[in-house]
Structure 1
Amino acid sequence: MDIVGYAAAATMIMAALICVLYLFRGRRCSRNPLFTEYPIFGMLTHVLFNLWRAHDYSTLVLKRHGGTGEFIGPWFTNMNYLVTIDPSNLHHMLSKRFHNYVKGPQFREILQAFGDGIFTADSEPWKYNRDLFHSLFKRKSFEVFLEKTIHSKVRSSLIPVLDSLHQQGSVVDLQDVFNRFTFDNICSIVLGNDPNCLSVDFPDVAIEKAFNQAEECIFFRHVVPKCVWKLQKLLQIGQEKKMTQACKTLDQFIHACIASKREDLSKYKENEKAEADDHVDLLTSLMREETHEDKFLRDAVFNLFVAGRDTITSALTWFFWLVATNPLVEAKILEEMKDKFGNMNEKSSLGVLNVEEVKKLVYLHGAICESLRLFPPVPFETKQALEADVLPSGHVVNSGTNILFLLYAMGRIEEIWGEDCFEFKPERWISQKGGIVFVPSYKFIAFNAGPRTCLGKDLAFIQMKMVAAFILNNYHVQVVKGFVAAPSLSIVLLMKDGLKVKITKREK
């Protein structure tokens, strides 16, 4: 037999082997498949071709499959997921059978930059982190410190920047403004140090850019086979090169802050209450609680930064886009503030409400909830099953099964929110008696559910309402004509091209 004959025979054998493997995989794995599975590439081609509209596309696909289905990744990549947006399944996994569904080693490897912090930890390390942060967040001194920090940042930075933009009449990326504002805030709250990213000259800050880059690279790890990003990491090319550079910048910054804080604390006597009250940032509090190694502190700081910076930026950006494009909602928010407080500008804090005052703004709270329903800052979550189980939807879960649930899609389910689920309608959150309507956390999933419910939920609402009330009371935000808002591809749901607006002072 000549070379051509050998090649033809080899090709036929290979094709037959692929067909056998394909049929075998189909019998084992394709229970309610979300897409057509192709040999070798699995279902990944569908995702890659629709990556530009990933969130909306996944919503449509899951609705066609009753809310739950299987995604089969490329062969031999362990990218297989049971994907669900069924609230009963989430309630089962996040609450009823919480201990059976963990983050898992695969998740920790993808989110390597988070270290062993609260977002990636399981079991006892997670419980220790949660109990520690819970004790810090619930202190009255911390709430006072948070309020003081926000008031100070609004007066020193936000007002000058917004006034300058009004005077210039120029277009600005409001998401960038919020990004800088929340970055300065989280630096002050966690580290006790304000880097002044938000100023009229909009300076470049390497550490702020490094956080954005790291999050985009982490999303990349979610959508390509592990072997691809592992090879890129080994060769230091593509996204993994950017990841390495971003993490190096972040670690240098965080470790420098830890060293500086240790030096500062060595100058104070722990039993002097006045000094303790002056240093209630979270890093100081962590160091005073007990002796922690630098790695623990580094991971804690990184996780707190992601939790308190990008999520608030995302929430405020989508909220202002929705309000700016729904003038009736804006009018109702302004009317509520006027009814509750009259002329807010007569306040000594330049119209910035305090913690107790923002709790009275029911309609504003409903508008923020509605924004979070449609655009949750964290658009997807993953879990891994420790033991075999059966979900309420009837789907069988084997030990080691990876589960993906899509928060973005859940806000667009008619069975939960009604036929008007795509509308921005704050009224759905307000009862006939004028209070906030309670929605179970496994349906309104923006702050997670069960034992892992976000510890900073109340603090997040306080920050968002303080900032939103101040800006809406003093300025009018107008979206630039022709601007199209689109979600970014990242682990945090930011706007792809920012939020382009013009800022004008509101006439009183």
Structure 2
Amino acid sequence: MFCYAAAAIAAVFCIIYFFHRRLCCRYPLFTDYPIIGMLPALLCNLWRIHDFSVEVLKSHGGTGEFTGPWFTNMNYLITSDPINVHHILSKNFSNYVKGPEFREIFQAFGDGIFTADAETWKYNRDLFQSLFKNRSFEVFLEKTIRKKVQNSLLVVLDHVQQQGRVVDLQDVFNRFTFDNICSTVLGYDPNCLSLDFPEVAIEKAFNEIEESIFYRHVMPKRLWKLQRWLQIGREKTMTEACKSFDEFIHALIASKFEKLSKYNENKTGEACADLLTTVMREGKEQHDAGFLRDAVFNLFVAGRDTLTSALTWFFWLVATNPLVEAKILEEMNEKIGRNENTASILTIEEVKKLVYLHGAICETLRLFPSIPFERKQALEADVLPSGHGVNPRTMILFSLYAMGRFEEIWGEDCMELKPERWISQKGGIVYVPSYKFVAFNAGPRTCLGKELSFLQMKIVAAAILRNYHVQVVEGSVVTPNLSVVLLMKNGLKVKITKRET
């Protein structure tokens, strides 16, 4: 008798909870099944999640709700509506934060600028804004990247083309940007990009951390927390990867502390030092090893993986759109000249003249944003401009990938690579509101390194295109990887040939 009563109570409870979920989820993106929620649709399309998000959001007017299995709190409001994005990231900025759950998922980022809120975020932002806007840092950055392009990138590509072998261009950029960010942030060049393509444990650890963070978004919280406690699966991989990174960074921090304790600023003789040294000098008391570690990790993500992603997708798009490549070369010849020494690396002032190249990079970031989705949490109840209600603690995901593929935002030719859409009739760069083109975020959290990123990408792109023709290997399957950074799953296999002068 007791069993029947218990079963009846359980059935009533399930029915009540089922209707409660139906009432709470007013704009479902998929069928909401009892107990398992909308998880089946997500898991079945996980392998093509970015393109799947485009299809689903288009069929629901750009905004809808996802509910996970019961009692997992795996519920999101997902949007690609630029008016909603503008409201959340700018107009009502104070009501939408990263939040504690975000910091838990992105624990590897620590309390750095990407995960922090309130005063911690403001302090980090003010600190790095003062560093990035310093003219001496721009000079240091230009010198560092031009040296790396000249002495490593072009040397490796020249060696590859002489051998006539296939190379993974994404791997080349991974190594190049890792060396470059190490030199810029740490003042240390690990020489990952060399002729023998050495295996670099710390570079591999970075990729594993990002992939693990992505899976935390699509797995119930209790499940990945259990895996973390048991140290199995992705969570074990993430723990080991974080340990490798932390050992690498803390060793360098200790070395710099020792160096700075022996020599004061005036005795170093450096007009401009790497970012870590500069931060240590400017905050000798409040910047402990933990703060510095978190700052370094966040700078690595901002200045390494995003550039790798952008450059890889850029060269794939250019290689598969020969007319765009021809126009980039034509612009360089017209504005820079047919320098017989094409191996010379363009300066920042020279690449600023390359408007068509700028447009091609913007198109790349529109179609393949380095960070394909953004996440926020509401503090208080709100109503979005689209009419969708937001409850306190609602998790909101923006699909930046989908936004670049909406006809309502970019026109019927949105799937075309069209640098001209970024160029005015007078030949200048067209301004597009950041809430439409969210590749560098929008509102108060707009990326501080936006202009520096463009300059670095232009220097690298111009150096390669002036010297080499890049051809994608026939039969290559190009698909996005499942990670918080939009890299290619199988890399970008290409053949390099010397360009005739």
Q: Which bin holds the TM-score, normalised by the shorter protein?
A: over 0.9
Counterpart of 1:208?
A: 203
Counterpart of 2:279?
A: 286
Counterpart of 2:422?
A: 429
Matched, 1:376 2:362: no
- Secondary structure of 1:477's partner? strand
Counterpart of 1:471?
A: 464
Which AA in structure 1 matches 2:480?
Answer: P
Matched, 1:386 2:379: yes
Which AA in structure 2 matches 1:43?
Answer: M
- Secondary structure of 1:403's partner? strand
Matched, 1:147 2:147: no
Question: What is the distance in 2 between the residues matched to 1:87 and 1:237?
Answer: 40
Q: How does 1:109-188 map to 2 (within 5 A)?
A: 109-188=104-183
Deviation at 1:269, TM superposition (A): 2.2
Deviation at 1:402, TM superposition (A): 0.9
Deviation at 1:276, TM superposition (A): 3.3
Deviation at 1:351, TM superposition (A): 2.3
Of 66, 88, 107, the match for 2:61: 66
Counterpart of 2:498?
A: 505
Of 345, 355, 361, the match for 2:354: 361
Deviation at 1:24, TM superposition (A): 2.1
Post-superposition Cα deviations, 1:447-503, rounded to whole Å, max 9, x if no partner, equal 000000000000100000000000000001000001121011000000010001001
Structure 1 22/354 Cα, relative in aligned 2: closer, same or farther at 3 Å? same
Which AA in structure 2 matches 1:357?
Answer: E
Question: What is the distance in 2 between the residues matched to 1:8 and 1:61?
Answer: 42
- Secondary structure of 1:309's partner? helix
TM-score (norm 1): 0.96
- Secondary structure of 1:266's partner? helix
Which AA in structure 2 matches 1:229?
Answer: W
Question: What is the distance in 2 between the residues matched to 1:125 and 1:402?
Answer: 21
Of 473, 477, 484, the match for 2:477: 484
Which AA in structure 2 matches 1:358?
Answer: V
- Secondary structure of 1:81's partner? strand
Question: What is the distance in 2 between the residues matched to 1:269 and 1:227?
Answer: 50
Counterpart of 1:256?
A: 251
Deviation at 1:395, TM superposition (A): 1.0
- Secondary structure of 2:245's partner? helix
Counterpart of 2:404?
A: 411
Structure 1 344/150 Cα, relative in aligned 2: closer, same or farther at 3 Å? farther
Deviation at 1:270, TM superposition (A): 1.8
Of 9, 12, 35, the match for 1:40: 35
Post-superposition Cα deviations, 1:251-282, rounded to whole Å, max 9, x if no partner, equal 0001001001111222322234x6231x5100
Of 56, 59, 81, the match for 2:76: 81
> For the Cα contact (< 8 Å) 1:161–1:199, is it kept in 2?
yes
Question: What is the distance in 2 between the residues matched to 1:462 and 1:280?
Answer: 20
- Secondary structure of 2:262's partner? coil
> For the Cα contact (< 8 Å) 1:42–1:73, is it kept in 2?
yes
Q: How does 1:395-406 map to 2 (within 5 A)?
A: 395-406=388-399
> For the Cα contact (< 8 Å) 2:154–2:464, is it kept in 1?
no
- Secondary structure of 2:463's partner? helix
Which AA in structure 2 matches 1:497?
Answer: N
Matched, 1:453 2:449: no
Post-superposition Cα deviations, 1:221-265, rounded to whole Å, max 9, x if no partner, equal 010001010000000000000000000001000100100111122
Question: What is the distance in 1 between the residues matched to 2:483 and 2:420?
Answer: 30
Counterpart of 2:317?
A: 322
CA RMSD of aligned residues (A): 1.4
Question: What is the distance in 1 between the residues matched to 2:130 and 2:366?
Answer: 28
Post-superposition Cα deviations, 1:313-353, rounded to whole Å, max 9, x if no partner, equal 00000000000000000000000000112223437xx3210
Counterpart of 1:19?
A: 15
> For the Cα contact (< 8 Å) 1:35–1:46, is it kept in 2?
yes
Structure 2, gaps ≥5 residues long: none
Which AA in structure 2 matches 1:335?
Answer: E
Counterpart of 1:101?
A: 96
- Secondary structure of 2:265's partner? coil
Per mean C-alpha deviation after superposition, the further-off stretch among 227-236 and 17-26 is 17-26
> For the Cα contact (< 8 Å) 2:79–2:399, is it kept in 1?
yes
> For the Cα contact (< 8 Å) 1:188–1:281, is it kept in 2?
yes
Deviation at 1:59, TM superposition (A): 0.8
Question: What is the distance in 2 between the residues matched to 1:138 and 1:10?
Answer: 67
Of 331, 338, 361, the match for 2:333: 338
Percent identical among aligned pairs is 73
- Secondary structure of 2:489's partner? coil
**Count of residues in Structure 1 that have an aligned counterpart in Structure 2:** 499
- Secondary structure of 1:195's partner? coil
Which AA in structure 2 matches 1:18?
Answer: C
> For the Cα contact (< 8 Å) 1:345–1:351, is it kept in 2?
no
Of 459, 462, 472, the match for 2:455: 462
Per mean C-alpha deviation after superposition, the further-off stretch among 148-157 and 404-413 is 148-157
TM-score (norm 2): 0.97
Deviation at 1:396, TM superposition (A): 1.1
Structure 1 13/388 Cα, relative in aligned 2: closer, same or farther at 3 Å? closer
Question: What is the distance in 2 between the residues matched to 1:345 and 1:72?
Answer: 60
Per mean C-alpha deviation after superposition, the further-off stretch among 10-19 and 94-103 is 10-19
Counterpart of 1:302?
A: 297
> For the Cα contact (< 8 Å) 1:385–1:400, is it kept in 2?
yes
Counterpart of 1:275?
A: 269
Deviation at 1:15, TM superposition (A): 4.5
Structure 1 429/285 Cα, relative in aligned 2: closer, same or farther at 3 Å? same
Counterpart of 1:494?
A: 487
Of 217, 242, 248, the match for 1:247: 242
Deviation at 1:180, TM superposition (A): 0.2
Question: What is the distance in 1 between the residues matched to 2:427 and 2:155?
Answer: 36
